[in-house]
Amino acid sequence: MLVRGRQGTYWLGPRIASFAADARLSDHHALTFGALIPNTGNAYYDVLLAAAEADVEASGGRLIVHDAGDDAVRQRHQWTELLGLGADVVLVDAVETSGYEDLVQASHDRGLPVVAIGTRIDGADVAVTSDNIQAGLLSAAALLSRLPDDSHVAILDGLGKNANAERISGFRDALRDHPQVHLVAHERGGADDVESGRRATRRLIDDHPGLSGIFAVCDPLALGAAEALRDLGRTMAITAVDGLAGAVELIDAGGPILATSAQDPAHLARTALTIARQLHDGTTPRQRVVSLPVRLVTAADSQGYSPWG
């Protein structure tokens, strides 16, 4: 199991850590993985870390987890701390897209591979992400199919990270083929969570009372938007990205969330760990960016989808 320490640090419990120390003598894959995560309170990271923990435990390794609380400055400090904790590989899902180049270099100076997971950062050996542009395209297509001509839509954004930016890029690409639908606002929630989505949606409704649809970069923001609409007695179409169970429940209930582009955080974790071991062994990756496919979940096909979270 994961044990929580001070200042958002977690590690595998003493019994497992002791086993890992013994196993490392005979298994070169019994490595210590340092994981830098934006916020373990997000269900996406619960699923990702559970899969990572199971994978690392099975190999006799050790997993150290730092929770940044969606704070980029704190994440930088945690990365520096991680370099002194004996990690063999750094796994990082960055709070922001830029500003980590010096820490990537510091890791490389110590001989540590850096694998970006979920979002890309400059200098990482490999990035393992969902196909975020495709996620935005699929979500846009679902939203546009439900809106009449001359509708007004808005983007509900979160953390300033590459993954969110790519989803928005995909959404905007889809809108270019539908000039009859007007993008009137791009509101940043500040974090990828329900409360941020609720507050940002209230601002959107105040500023754009004629709004017809919202694209949210992640399901927690979409769930917050749905709560805000309920509180205000409003209805409109929402689509998003993630595949979270709570979003799928609203899709099945008829809205206001109508679709989500589903990613697979457990598969992301296992893929990143496989590549991390290969890098540690000196294998040069064939791809610097590994994009895992996403799928659109709507009421028409949700019964064939297993939601997470």
Mean per-residue pLDDT for 131-159? 96
How would DSSP label each residue in 160-213? S-HHHHHHHHHHHHHHTT-TTSEEEEEEE-SSSSHHHHHHHHHHHHHH-TT--E
- Enumerate the β-bridge partners of residue 262: 242, 295
pLDDT at 178 over 70: yes
Burial 258-293 (b: 16+ CB within 10 A, else e): bbbbbbbbbbbbbbbbebbbbbbeeeeeeeeebbee
Q: Which residue has the higher pLDDT, 243 or 29?
A: 243
The confidence score (pLDDT) of residue 4 equals: 41
Mean per-residue pLDDT for 146-154? 96
Distance CA 256, CA 258 (A): 6
pLDDT at 296 over 90: yes
Distance CA 219, CA 191 (A): 12
Mean per-residue pLDDT for 91-116? 95
Mean per-residue pLDDT for 230-255? 96
Whether residue 196 contacts residue 218, with contact meaning beta carbons closer than 8 Å, is answered with no
Which pLDDT tens digit goes with each residue over 60-84? 999 999 999 999 999 999 999 999 9
Q: Among 27-36, 76-85, 145-154, 299-308, which stretch is predicted with the lowest mean pLDDT? A: 27-36
Q: Which helix (H) or strand (E) holds 241?
A: strand 237-242
Distance CA 183, CA 1 (A): 46
Distance CA 166, CA 177 (A): 18
Please tell me the pTM assigned to this model: 0.86
> Residue 88: which pLDDT band, with cuts at 50, 70 and 90?
very high
Mean per-residue pLDDT for 180-196? 94
pLDDT at 22 over 70: no
Distance CA 58, CA 50 (A): 12
Mean per-residue pLDDT for 275-284? 92
pLDDT at 20 over 80: no
